[in-house]
Structure 1
Amino acid sequence: MSACDELLKLHDWDELLFGGFYCLHCSPTGEDSFDDPIAWPCPPLREAGLTDDEAREIIVARREKAEADYRAKKAAEQAEAQRQVNEFNHRHPVGTLVFAYPGIRPEDGAGTRLVTRTRTEAQVSASGDPVVWVEGEGSYISLTHVDPVAEDVWEAAWKAEKQAEPTVVTPQRLGHATRDETIPALLATIKELRASRQPLIDALTRVHQSMTACVGDEWAMEWLGEVWTQIPLHVRALAGDQDPASELGEGGA
């Protein structure tokens, strides 16, 4: 092995974000490491006789290897996903009783468990994951989050969930309310609504008074022109703004 080959092991390289290559060994490290990177091939490699053509060949070879390794990894993952899908479909036909976990599995924390059944065969998703659809869930669920269970276990879980569901009480109509019963109730409701909105009106009144008092203040003028004018006319009138009050009066005249 030549001295240049030995140096290549020491003076490894990486790509810069906006193009170019730098020496991992020669470039400074720390917070300012990218302020003054040492270009690759670095001076020691140049002195050992590494040419630009040889450097390009090294870069191309590493890129090709990285791409080949990536393709091989993805192919292996795809083959494994298809194997899991085939095995699941062989053992569990459509309609299999399952516990499904759309979020996280119970051993990983609190999440949702669906007591359900499969509604499709398993398949490999576009992202390369083995998945299946179940009843009661719109999106697919990873096979790692779907557990086929025995019928007695499934039924016990299903009954437990039904018993835990809140009872829905259907209101019964006990007859028609008379006019004398309805009007006082409506008036009381209107009074409550007016009382509940009064604090908001008071607050808006104080804000408007404060802003109009800031004569010449640029921020206050911008607020009055851009924010206050977006509030409905009748609300601004209730808050003491005379302009919308006049406008409303003219509209009703």
Structure 2
Amino acid sequence: MMAASPGGPGSGTGSVPPRRRRPALTPDQVIDAALELTRAHGLDGWTLRQLARALGTWPNTVAHHVGDREDVVAAVVQRVVAMMPNPLAELGWQEWFRALLLPSRDIIGRYPGVARRLARDGATVPAALPIMDRGVGLLVDAGFGDRAPLAYGVLLNSAVLLVALDDDRRLTGPAPGEAASALLAMPAPEGAGPGWAAMRPWLRASVEDAVAVRATLYRYTVESLLTGLQADLDAGGPPGGVLPPGRRP
């Protein structure tokens, strides 16, 4: 029987260890890395090459697992929307929208640019469909009828637009409170009345804690929209409904 040659398979001293193979990349790992880049730089602040570098691989490998940059962006938006709550329908329509929109501000806001994408393109990802179905269904049940999708759009679009505006301020705008400071430094307009006097405490609060003031504005917007929609519901909505003739159920 021929002896094994030195350094060959099964030999001890002098054997060359096999090359360690890097674990295979998965789509979830690609999306995880894209989420982190989005959190740090915004949805539009990174390239596919930077994403590949963060993963220690090549852009074509990323494309193989997820697709081109727009595919990765869609996957990021899908993941963020999937983090949003879909409260129980038993809450009733107003409490349901509070339970959806109030925590969603912080969830979406952790990933700058996602809100702007949602406002621009709509929530065209699978994770949005169960939320949409339940929310619009609650509005139908409440009596909004063919106005239910319109009411849903008013609530969701208003909320995500405010988050998008906060994103823009953080990414490219002036420092928090800077605009309020500039307004406070201006002389009062000639013949200023109670409006300017009422604004000054608000501006000072914005200088001291712009984050808290914006959170208050967001909550106030949601509550005002809910109040307005309740008034619309009580009034029965516009005569003839909102759908064009021939398109009503």
Instruction: Place the TM-score, normalised by the shorter chain, in its bin.
Output: under 0.3
Q: More strand by proportion, 1 or 2?
A: 1
Q: Which has the higher contact order (CA 8 A, sep 6+)?
A: 2
Larger radius of gyration: 1
Length-normalised TM-score, structure 1? 0.18
Length-normalised TM-score, structure 2? 0.18
